[in-house]
Amino acid sequence: MPVQFLEKEKIFTIHTDASTYQMKVDDLGFLLHLYYGARTQGCMDYLLTYMDRGFSGNPYDLKLDRTYSLDALPQEFPLWGQGDYRSPALNVRDREGTFGCDLRFAGYEICEGKYALPGLPAVYANEGDGAETLKIFMEDAVLGLKVTLLYGVLPENDIITRAAILENAGSGDVTVERAFSASLDFLTGDYDLITFHGRHAMERNMQRSNVDHGAFAIGSRRGMSSHQYNPMVILADHDTTEDHGRCWSMQFVYSGSFKALAERDQYHQTRLQMGLMDELFSYPLRKGEELVLPEVIMSFSGEGLAGLSHHLHNCIRRNVCRGKYRDIPRPVLFNSWEAAYFDFTGETIIEMARNAKELGAQMLVMDDGWFGNRNDDYRGLGDWVVNEKKLGCTMAQLAESVHSLGMKFGIWIEPEMVNEDSDLFRAHPDWALAIPGRKPVMARNQLVLDFSRKEVRDHIFDQICAVLDGSRIDYIKWDYNRSIADIHSYGAEDQGKVLYDYMLGVYDFLERLTQRYPEILVEGCSGGGGRFDAGMLYYTPQIWCSDNTDAVDRLSIQYGTSFGYPPCTMGAHVSVCPNEQNGRVTPFDTRSVVAMAGTFGYELDPAKLTDEEKEMVRRQISDFLTYAELLHNGDYYRLTDPSSAEAGAWETVAEDGSEALMSAVVLRIHGNRTPIYVHLRGLTKGAVYRDSRSGREYPADALMDVGLPLPVGMGEYQAFVYHLVKL
């Protein structure tokens, strides 16, 4: 059984195939963390040490015993108010304004299957996963605050999830001022923290920093998980590499404001935490009310960062993403945005679909500009009524025309936003988040609709459903193009609840949309990768990875993204050159090789391609469809770091080792260039592989030990692909 409890020792142990997690209820009812690491047996309470420590408080229960302090002991869910001065996972305030609480153990329950969270996305279990749930009940007798700590276990995938439910069972109000879903204490070790920072059009750059004395935090105050910091972090030993060493991850299944924190304390212990951003958050709980904390996915690997990524990739692919497109490659699409922007009609969309079909594409997506008075980005958001005058036909007629060509058809929406120049805003200005008496902060000429209010999201939902119900729509691109700055809801008494309740509203909308239209593929987007997180992937099995389509920049963006998210979730397209984001020129084939490491599509007008380029597109699409199953379900390996290597290289290997696809882009060229050897990984030892393109055979062990030399070509950013099939 994955979850075990020793009654006499009061020790909980969680086993996955390769890891063990252990905690103990001590004699005072405190829940102490003992161990999370490589799978082992036995009780680890011997690791706890007790001594008189200056300026570290002692529980009153022990009277004169000064050797016990929660300021030094490892805890499962540390609180403010129990004598621990390190970063708390929970801080509450009572109705008198006093901070702190004192939770003690009140029972437990072990259940088959994986828990679900009301109103929130969460990892789910499939039949045969052997999943179990552990619930640990904690209670503050004075406040009447009850906390249920939730642990979900997917043993075969080495995944443990953490969440919590807070309930006010007392007579007075309690206000939650900080609520982290997961906290890990490490008694020993010297670690690095790996985080992923960035900005719009340059997201998820990997950063590795030593965890020294003090606290290091990342997060988002933007009401979204953000371009600036991704809600996925890794703690690793200093010497951990892709193939060797210990590492632990936390990944938030939430799309709003968050915080992740690593702290090294006075005794050289390390604490890692993740949860809701505590700034701009103050959540009151009246008698009988609950607050559900979003889930954190945790995993441990003793075999380096690649092993950790495989755990997370498998979990996201099989236990987070849902629906028709979870297990199958996505359609190859052409998107109209960079091809036409707002300048299109129904006829030009049909012509684009006709040209894309001739090249082998499977879907045409009509981006922003089809609704209301939306001929630029100054107006129209909020009015989800088809502009039939602009299109020259109804949406149903346009969709049918595209389908008659043998193509799928998709549209762009941005449901959470409104322009001041819109019928919706003129009728309901109070439906936008804005501070009374102040002019709002503008971004991209738009405001944020208050999705914490049911009447607001119901109105938008009904408008969009009217479009979808009357037309054959196969795909929706859901965009979100600004951060939240004015945090005030005209429908809320307590403004500290707004950002959290806003995300619950977004999830409610997405759940209703995906349940009503299970055949539609929804792709998430927030100016590209501003909301690339496990919470959105629960509803949208792919997310536009970045608005930056430059192939060289995309190598770094996709590299950083791959630490926590599988390639099949990364929206990636071939676009024109010079690139419209940075002006760089890269070969057409190189652009396709890089985009093929994602969902694959095109962001250009097929009518403007030369005959030579059209033939290249036909070949590129054919290649992608040949490799699509492998790319979707295979194990992904980062072979080089494109920020420092001579070439950016990556590889996807079939789970059974039967085939592999290795791709590389040369990033630096020199006169009389030295050879670049790329070391492959994940192949079957002792086997021989044949490259299906050249027919040449290679011994697997040599490919992994010595590497494969890339051809010496002329010109910048040359790309090379090897499809290796095991003989």
- Report, as residue numbers or ranges, the catalytic residues: 533, 613
**Cβ atoms 623, 373 nearer than 8 A:** no
Q: How far apart are CA 316 and CA 322, in angstroms?
A: 10
Q: How far apart are CA 498 and CA 451, in angstroms?
A: 9
- Tell me the CA distances in angstroms from 505 to 54, 226, 640, one per residue in order: 48, 18, 41
Q: How far apart are CA 25 and CA 347, in angstroms?
A: 69
Q: Considering only CA atoms, which of 368, 470, 345, 346 is closest in space to residue 415?
A: 368
What are the structure tokens assigned to 62, written together? 């022990």
Question: 115 — phi, psi (to 5°)?
Answer: -60, 160
* Residue 209, H or E segment: strand 202-210
The CB density around residue 702, as the number of other CB atoms within 10 Å, is 12
Q: How far apart are CA 520 and CA 476, in angstroms?
A: 7
Backbone region of residue 61 per phi and psi (left: phi > 0; alpha: psi in -120 to 50; beta: other values):
alpha
Determine the distance from the C-alpha atom of residue 324 to the mean position of all C-alpha atoms in its chain, rounded to a whole number.
Answer: 20
What are the structure tokens assigned to 123, written together? 């990892």
Relative to beta strand 174-186, strand 283-285 is: antiparallel
Q: Considering only CA atoms, which of 260, 248, 262, 240 is closest in space to residue 308?
A: 248
Sheet holding 363-366, edge to edge: 570-571, 542-544, 521-524, 475-478, 408-413, 363-366, 333-335, 601-603, 574-575
Per DSSP (E only), the strands in 474-546 are 475-478, 521-524, 542-544
Per DSSP (E only), the strands in 496-643 are 521-524, 542-544, 570-571, 574-575, 601-603, 635-638
Q: How far apart are CA 413 and CA 118, in angstroms?
A: 26
- Tell me, what amino acid is at 505? G
Find the farthest-apart pair of alpha carbons in the chain and give their distance in angstroms, rounded.
87
**Helix, coil or strand: residue 609:** coil
Q: How far apart are CA 258 and CA 279, in angstroms?
A: 9
Per DSSP (E only), the strands in 553-685 are 570-571, 574-575, 601-603, 635-638, 647-653, 659-666, 677-678
**Helix, coil or strand: residue 536:** helix
Q: Does the N-terminal peptide bond of residue 578 adopt cis geometry, omega within 30 degrees of 0?
A: yes
Q: Considering only CA atoms, which of 107, 79, 113, 77 is closest in space to residue 93?
A: 79
